[in-house]
Amino acid sequence: MPDLQDLKQRIPLLDYLRQRHWTARPAASRREFVGLCPFHRDSRPSFYVNPRKNLFYCHGCGRGGDLIRFVELSEHLSFRQSLVSTISSGSSLPPAWPA
Ligand SMILES: [Zn+2]
């Protein structure tokens, strides 16, 4: 069984979000992307994703974290369940995912 921390870092958060139809645009003068927050009623984009750090943060509701945290928040699953769920969606994973 591969290390969980290692696994989640191999899944690009931004790709994961886009596969779930999160639309984002590059944030002004930052190496981040910004879009509407999926966790609260967001009238203007306040949900930031940093592809280099593989982290997200919402300036509206204060939620933030990594891929696993995102899955937990969005699907209300436990850490391990969410990772299994992510992995078992295998075919939709980005090409960087090791075969
Ligand atoms: Zn939010």
What residue ranges define each of the domains in the chain, with the CATH number in brackets?
4-89 (3.90.580.10)
Of 98 and 58, more confident: 58
CB atoms within 10 A of CB 4: 12
Tell me the per-residue pLDDT of 46-93, one tens digit each, with 9 for 90 and over: 999 999 899 999 999 999 999 888 988 887 666 667 677 777 766 454
- Distance, CA 61 to ligand 1 centroid (Å)? 4
pLDDT at position 96:
46
Which pLDDT band, with edges at 50, 70 and 90, does 19 fall under? Answer: confident
Rounded to whole angstroms, the Cα distance separating 49 from 31 reads: 9
pTM above 0.75?
Answer: no
- The mean per-residue pLDDT over the stretch 15-29 comes to 87
Contact 83, 68 (CB under 8 A): yes
Q: CB within 5 A of ion ligand 1: which residues?
A: 37, 39-40, 58, 60-61
Cα 36 to ligand 1 centre (Å): 8
| Strand order through the sheet with 64-65 | 25-26, 33-35, 47-50, 55-58, 64-65
How far is ligand 1, taken at its centre, from the CA of residue 10, in Å? 25
End-to-end CA distance of the chain: 14
